[in-house]
Structure 1
Amino acid sequence: MGDRERIAIRINGIVQGVGFRPFIFNLALEHGLTGWVTNDSAGVLIEVEGSGSKLNAFLKDIKLKAPPLAHIVSIKSWSIDPIGDNEFIIRASDRSEKVKTLISPDMALCEDCYREMMDPQDRRYLYPFINCTNCGPRFTIIEEMPYDRLYTTMREFIMCPECQREYDDPKNRRFHAQPNACPVCGPEVWLTDRTGKRVDERSSLDYGLVDEVAATYELCEKVKGDKSIGLLPEWVRPIFQLKTELKKGKIAAVKGLGGYHLVCDALNREAVQNLRKRKYRPDKPLAVMMPNLDVVRRYCQVSSEEEKLLISPVRPIVLLKWKAKGYDGITLEVAPAQSRLGVMLPYTPLHYLLFDESLPVLVMTSGNISGEPIIYDDQEAVERLGDIVDYFLVHNRRIVRPCDDSVQRVDNSPVMIRRSRGYAPIPLRLPAVKEPILACGGEMNNIFALAEKGLVFMSQHIGDLKTKNSLYHYRRMIDEMVKLFEIEPEIVVHDLHPEYISTKFALKKYKDKRLIGVQHHHAHIASCMAEHGLDGQVIGLAFDGTGYGTDGKIWGGEILIASPEKFERWAHLKYLPLPGGDKGVKEPWRIGVAYLLKALPDADWLQELPFWYSLKDEINMLKTIIEKGIKVPETSSMGRLFDAVAAILGIRTRISYEGQAAIELEELAGEELGEPYPFIVEDDSPPFVINPLPIISAIIRDLRAGKKAYKIARRFHGTVVEMALNLCIKIRQELGLQRVVMSGGVFQNRLLSLGLKKCLEGEGFEVFQHCQVPTNDGGLALGQVYVASQCILKKEDTFG
């Protein structure tokens, strides 16, 4: 056979259901090669034959030109004997073994499908469920592996002959696109009132108005100039009717890829106020959707990195600097007391069809009860959202599992705030993992993880587990992912907090498995270490609101000497009162008063507090409790220190969402650090105690001297940076450690995280922060997996 060679290629990763086989087919034709490609139990298997130079170019192009939804974990190739075949074919999938491969997340509408949707001559013109192998639903419609239409909710729609021809043609980009459909054979959309009763579309919209179609953003020029188009296609009429109602100030629940969004006109103040009132969400920022980058630039400052995130196939919510807050048409009620907007671009065809020139910005917030998973079941939506909305825009493509929007921001690089749609269930690589592990995560911002053979599959965002509904979904999602990925856990990891719902769940359901408890802040640091592939000892800065300590107290301002398998508590904030426990977290004035009473027990200053007259009786009662030494919970939490300062400055006495006081304190400080206040490091040996009471005393002196609150906020942030920096330098002097890992919810504070990183790097430290998973409790499960796997590997029996 002359100079012909033949190689076999094994590719693992997300390579099924993403157009990988037709990609390989066309690539082989492009390079003039023969052979075959198939799906099998482990991924994709290829045999290819030709000259050595062509084979090398083929291998190189697999990596460089892979389909956008593919996620290659490994490529292995080896030489085999040539057989002299004369064509390249796609073989039927080998189903002799159960498929054990990765699943693609849901992805945004691709440019090709968008162009077709906007082309009046295309059979999918304005069809709200257009998709191909490069876009559309995956994770939210699959019920079991392998990823074939039969095992997705699309099995309920039998393809018409035209769709079937596309599905069967390896040269078509819809070859084996499992959600493939068109208006003839696919899902449909309809409009209902708040009780779930269908609305008669003809009653309130004249469908002969071509201008309604032409107004849709970026609609092709043919439409604007062709008055012969006539009626809107039947399948899009409910969407245009809803647009008419949104312009009147109505509120809707719109069913998307992973659940329902609550939608209204973001430029209509009354509509946004009504949404907040009905949802009992007075302050928490609402996400918005804009149709394209031109509109985003109109309202927000956007860097090139932020643009890349916005238009990526993931299409996360991106936190962007608001250009002219409150003066640009977007009502202040969308994001009160915030300088940034959570903005996303459309990611489904239905989303694109909701916009036009008189409806350029829509509130697009999760359709849920606060803290719970996004609602995705149609009946549940009517029952639980019917009092909030005026209309439901519903479709009949069933959603298997809820999946909320991911949230990110860009500092020097992208930072993950909520990891969900577009990322779940892409695994993270962690070679230390051998045995099958379930990590149950925390109680707030819960994400759990399943891990085996070097891969960690993190769930979509679940939320807070304190309600029965959240716990139901948590249990169900774990059962589903165990089945979907065929990982039956032998080791179950949980937080040490005995009252965490995730801990109780682990101890009850998996009592016959090997159970491992991991301290909360150790898991935080280990999570960031896992992201960066770190082993050995690091300086761990774990700053958050609440975490159960090994001494049974509430931790949260921790400086650890940590390795994946163990840690030492090297320093921490001084234990201070947390009056009311959870009630104190929701009412930061309690923490502010308690800290002040500890800092200035003899001073007559209470009547100077900005909230004295509204809370005089409660303050005096709390003063009596503190002075009499009545026992209250104590905490070393950095998050509570932020709350105390926010309350003392009069920023926030009560909160309506997690972290609100600290977030608004950061907003007040802006983007500058101030001169540090004094603080004291007590004790002669670890664990050193950082006493923040001098900070509180100094803040009172500044207030009495008439200093502006924003300057005090800047000084406070500068103090926390100085405190962490000084202790890291002290550790380096004593232990020689150079690597600093930052984790915990407090580091969502941009001013603090960027300021501290800059100062540490200025002193020669190597600094590691989260990028792939959240720094809040949404990243705990990854850390739990890493700690457990290393303890097993190194036969460590203790975790702190």
Structure 2
Amino acid sequence: MRYKYIINGIVQGVGFRPTVYKIATSLNLKGYVLNSSDGVIIEIEGKNRDKFLNELKNNLPPLAKIEKIECFKLPLKNYKDFEIKYSINTTKTTSISPDISVCEDCLKEMRDKNNRRYLYPFINCTNCGPRYTIIENIPYDRVNTSMKKFKMCENCKKEYENPIERRFHAEPISCYECGPKLSVKFKIENGKWAVKDFNREIKKIEFIANKIKEGKIVAIKGLGGFHLVCDATNEKSVYELRKRKNRPLKPFAMMFRDIEMIKKYADISNKEKELILSKERPIVIVKKKKELKGIADKIDRYGVFLPYTPIHYLLFDFLDFPIVATSANISDEPIIRDSKELIEKLGSVVDFILDNNRDIINACDDSVVQVVNEERLFMRLSRGFAPKSFYIDKKTSPNILALGANQKNTISLYFNQKVILSPHIGDLKTLGSIEFFERTINTFRRLYEFKEDVIICDKHPYYESTKWALSQNKEVIQIQHHFSHALSVMFENSLDGEFLAFLFDGTGYGDDGSIWGGEVFRVTKHNYERIHYIKPFKLIGSEKGVKNPSNYAISLIDEQLAKNFKNYEIIKKLQNGPFPLTSSMGRVFDAVAFLSGMIDRNEYEGISGLIIEKFYNENIKGFIDIGIKKELDFKEIFNFAYLNRGKFELVSSIFINSLVNLVVKLSKYYNLPVILSGGVFQNKTLLGKILKNIYAYYNKEIPINDGGISIGQVAYGIWNLRRENGT
């Protein structure tokens, strides 16, 4: 008997075939293994064939993930040996591995003076390095990546073709002789740039490190795009970067040489340490220990991460301080991936550029996570974790393209029992971000030879994703924003039945045309009922009102209190203006922060929540009881915030405790299993307190904010749509 397996998942470019080869030969099995666009195909014959699958599942390479195994029993072919065959193309369903940080084996080689890759800035192997960012097509072979222009030297070719080598079919394999090169670029007169010559790659990195020491602002090309970099301990450099980038207050992420350096500046838990050291190397939000001016002013958190490319590691050979490493982009635009665009858009921001000639095909920003109750919570799912795939045991749904929301946009595909979630795209506010959105759609269409039968998008008529959907001459289904949030949790947790969903965020288009965001739904896979919501109020100033909460916050307190504000008379007149109604919990946070004196305006999205968290005091146990009515009235909380203006700990603690009490009380009242989703639940204190009082389902594998909306949309399609022929 001959067994044929078709294995799907992350099984290409991750050392899967060499592992199969080693296991098959150790069991004296005959046959072959090959990559195809359908997945990895294996045929085996021999007495020990029944042991093969268990051995494989128990000895997967570090980056591999099996999602689906199909098995066929066929007549014998009497193979003479076991071999690794070349790839073949069929239907494209194989998942693409995300980019992974350089592994310990490669780092050891990079530090070995006797190794031919000593100090080589592009060292990688089957277990690490670039994947998604360099791929043009599936299957993941060198010819389908941006490495195709680098012809392998004989030494690399020997490693590449040896099944027992760590670099067997490692597509980005290279060395000094045949691989990419670094280049240092600097400004000359008339705004032009030139390339500086060096005789060694390490000298280029040393030069850039010295410029950072001198207080200069540099751009460094990483896996998915450029970082803007400066000395995080040099206050002058940090504020100069803020000035040049026009980013007055939003926190900067910092890269550190090692975990010990992080511990000097931040308090980290064991779980946070685990995430910081993980092969994905995300930015992890942690508690400050030592203040660095200009990095994350007004809040008590840092975003920290470790080197994840050989270039980063080599850079820290010359630096003994943390560096700012923030995405090189114009506000609200995607990360920049080539130096020509960098010079065009940010030439006035940077002094020097450390570039390289390995093209980035697919831009990919850094992932951002935090820890809540010892669980990982995604704020941005990208490098290291995305593209993310899910296997679905359902064959009757049409091919679906889900377009997500306008902020923190992602897209999702469904086809052939597989869901693919894209990396973070960003806010669709600029021409550049909309182009990136369209490019990402076309990338995934190309990679999977995907053609959608139906497009699912948000109901908001002014979302760029909605406009794009309606322009495509395809069947379009629009799903309410907060329903999508709830469905994303149900999808991720494989839930069925009826749930009580608390859906708290900043903006979501409501069925009545107003702006929702403080919602309590009774929800199933198929429909929802809006059973409670924050009592709507006018968002005076509309979009500008989001930046300036004084415009509407003053109107939320008792009139005799509101009269104490200078602009009371103006606000009173504006209350009759044609401004939209909102029930947004995000705006409630902003109003509380403003009325209590914590902020004057919203410098960036989420600052109110971060400042309220900063001042939360565990020892303050009081709360304001919000009555269970259809419209949840927060007026007493708003009055309390103003009457205790300046008492930041008291206001923050009472406010958070009141929200926790409300969620717990409603949960007990309805006695239904609970779902939590929406950007407000990024608030670590709020989410943590709720979870200590009740059991709730929430997003852990996908972002809890709008980055998870496309998953909720695609889930609706899977559960509610059928192919026309029912097959």
Question: Could you say which TM-score interval applies, normalised by the shorter chain?
Answer: over 0.9
Which residue of the partner structure matches residue 652 of structure 2? 713
Answer whether contact 2:184 2:353 (CA < 8 A) is retained: yes
Change (3 A) 1:520 1:655: same
Per-residue CA deviations over 1:611-637 (Å, capped at 9, x if unaligned) read x5xxx3x443213333xx334321111
Report the count of equivalent residues: 719
- Displacement of 1:264 in angstroms is 0.8
In structure 2, relative to structure 1, the CA distance for the partners of 1:542 and 1:22 (3 Å cut) is: same
- Aligned with 1:421 (options 378, 383, 386): 383
Letter in 1 for 2:432: N
Closer, same or farther in 2 for the Cα pair 1:487/1:240, shift >3 Å? same
Q: Does 1:755 align with 2:689?
A: yes
Match for residue 62 of structure 2 among 68, 75, 79: 68
Q: Distance in 2 between matches of 1:269 and 1:397?
A: 33
Cα deviations by residue, 1:421-472 (Å, 9 ceiling, x for unpaired): 1122121234457211011110011111111133211111111111111111
- Aligned pair partner of 1:38 in 34, 37, 44: 34
Which stretch shifts more, 79-88 or 497-506?
79-88
Provide closer, same or farther for how the CA distance between residues 197 and 671 of structure 1 changes in structure 2, counting only shifts above 3 A: farther
Secondary structure of the corresponding residue to residue 414 of structure 1: strand
Does the 8 Å contact 1:265/1:359 carry over to 2? Answer: no
CA contact (8 A) 1:159 1:185 kept: yes
Partner SS for 2:655: helix
TM-score (norm 1): 0.87
CA distance change for structure 1 residues 30 and 576 in 2, over 3 Å: closer, same or farther?
same
Q: Which of 598, 601, 620 matches 2:569?
A: 620
Show the counterpart of 2:601: 654
8 Å CA contact retained: 1:436, 1:491: yes
Q: For residue 265 of structure 1, what is the aligned residue in structure 2?
A: 231
CA distance in 2, matches of 1:344, 1:639: 28
Match of 1:798 in 2: none
Instruction: Give 1:84 shift.
Output: 5.1
1:639 maps to 586
Distance (whole Å) between structure 2 residues aligned to residue 604 and residue 574 of structure 1: 20
8 Å CA contact retained: 1:190, 1:238: yes
The correspondence of residues 296-307 of structure 1 with structure 2, limited to 5 A, is: 296-307=262-273
**Against the structure 1 CA distance between its residues 423 and 672, is the aligned structure 2 distance closer, same or farther, given a 3 Å change threshold?**
farther
Aligned to 1:353: 314
Change (3 A) 1:432 1:391: same
1:187 alignment partner, one of 149, 161, 180:
180
Determine the C-alpha separation between the residues in 2 that align with 1:56 and 1:292: 45
Determine the C-alpha separation between the residues in 1 that align with 2:224 and 2:723.
40
Deviations 1:546-591 (A, max 9, x none): 1111011111110000112110001111011210011110112223
Paired position in structure 2 for 1:282 = 248
Q: Structure 1 CA distance, aligned partners of 2:157 and 2:179?
A: 12
Name the CA distance, whole Å, in 2 between partners of 1:632 and 1:718.
Answer: 31
Residue 148 of structure 2 is aligned to residue 155 of structure 1: yes
- Does the C-alpha gap of structure 1 residues 724 and 255 become closer, same or farther in structure 2, counting only changes over 3 Å? same
Q: Which residue of 1 aligns with 2:441?
A: 478
The reply on whether 1:404 has 2:365 as its aligned counterpart is yes
Equivalences for 1:213-362 in 2 at 5 Å? 234-322=200-288, 324-326=289-291, 331-356=292-317, 358-362=319-323
How many Å separate the matches in 2 of 1:300 and 1:659? 21
Structure 1 unmatched ranges of 5 or more: 203-232, 683-687, 762-766, 796-800
Map residues 438-457 of structure 1 onto 2, 5 A cutoff. 438-457=401-420
Relative to structure 1, the CA distance from residue 654 to residue 446 in structure 2 (aligned partners, 3 Å threshold; closer, same or farther) is same
For residue 752 of structure 1, report the CA deviation from its aligned partner: 0.7
- 2:675 aligned to which of 741, 748, 753: 741
Match of 1:427, as an amino acid? S
1:358–1:94 distance in 2 versus 1, CA, 3 Å: closer
What secondary structure does 1:652 align onto?
A: coil
Unmatched 5+ residue regions in structure 2? none
Q: Specify the alignment match of 1:109 in structure 2.
A: 102
Distance 1:604 1:134 in 2: 63
1:481 Cα deviation (Å)? 0.9
Aligned-partner Cα distance in 1 for 2:611–2:698: 23
Equivalent of 2:428, from 461, 465, 487? 465
Query: 1:10-65 CA deviation, whole Å, 9 max, x = no partner?
Result: 2111212222111111222333433321223421122233434xx44432221122
CA distance in 2 between partners of 1:264 and 1:375 (Å)? 17
Q: Which amino acid aligns with 2:676?
A: M
Q: 1:679-698 to 2 correspondence within 5 Å?
A: 679-682=626-629, 688-698=630-640
| Mapped partners of 1:265, 1:503: distance in 2 | 41
Matched residues in 2 for 1:521 and 1:459: separation? 20
8 Å CA contact 1:430, 1:530 repeated in 2 = no
**Alignment-derived partner of residue 520 in structure 1:** 481
CA distance in 2 between counterparts of 1:241 and 1:254 reads 12
> Structure 1 residue 145: deviation in Å?
1.9
Helix, strand or coil at the partner of 2:694? helix
Q: Comparing 366-375 with 26-35, which one deviates more in the overlay?
A: 26-35
Paired with 1:788 and 1:517, the residues of 2 have a C-alpha distance of: 11
Equivalences for 1:511-550 in 2 at 5 Å? 511=473, 513-550=474-511
Equivalences for 1:776-787 in 2 at 5 Å? 776-787=705-716
What does residue range 565-576 of structure 1 map to in structure 2 within 5 Å?
A: 565-576=526-537
Specify whether residues 126 and 681 from structure 1 end up closer, same or farther in structure 2 by C-alpha distance, changes over 3 A only.
same
Write the distance in 2 (CA, Å) between the matches of 1:450 and 1:83.
38
Identity %: 41
Aligned partner letter, 2:652: A
Contact 1:645 1:696 in 2 (8 A): yes
> Partner of 1:274: helix, strand, or coil?
helix
1:213 corresponds in structure 2 to: none
Deviation at 1:672, TM superposition (A): 6.0
Tell me, in whole angstroms, the C-alpha distance in 2 between the residues paired with 1:253 and 1:672.
Answer: 45
Equivalent position SS for 1:393: strand
Give the TM-score of the pair, scaled to structure 2.
Answer: 0.95
Residues 678 and 694 in structure 1, CA contact (< 8 A), matched pair in contact too: no
Deviation at 1:671, TM superposition (A): 5.2
Find 1:11's aligned residue among 4, 7, 24. Answer: 7
Report Cα offsets for 1:238-278 as digits up to 9, x if no partner: 11100011011111111111100011111111111111111
Q: Does the Cα contact within 8 Å between 2:541 and 2:579 map onto a contact in 1?
A: yes
More displaced, 166-175 or 181-190?
Answer: 166-175
Indicate if the aligned counterparts of 1:680 and 1:694 stay in contact, CA closer than 8 A.
no
Q: Aligned to 2:517, what secondary structure does the other structure show?
A: strand
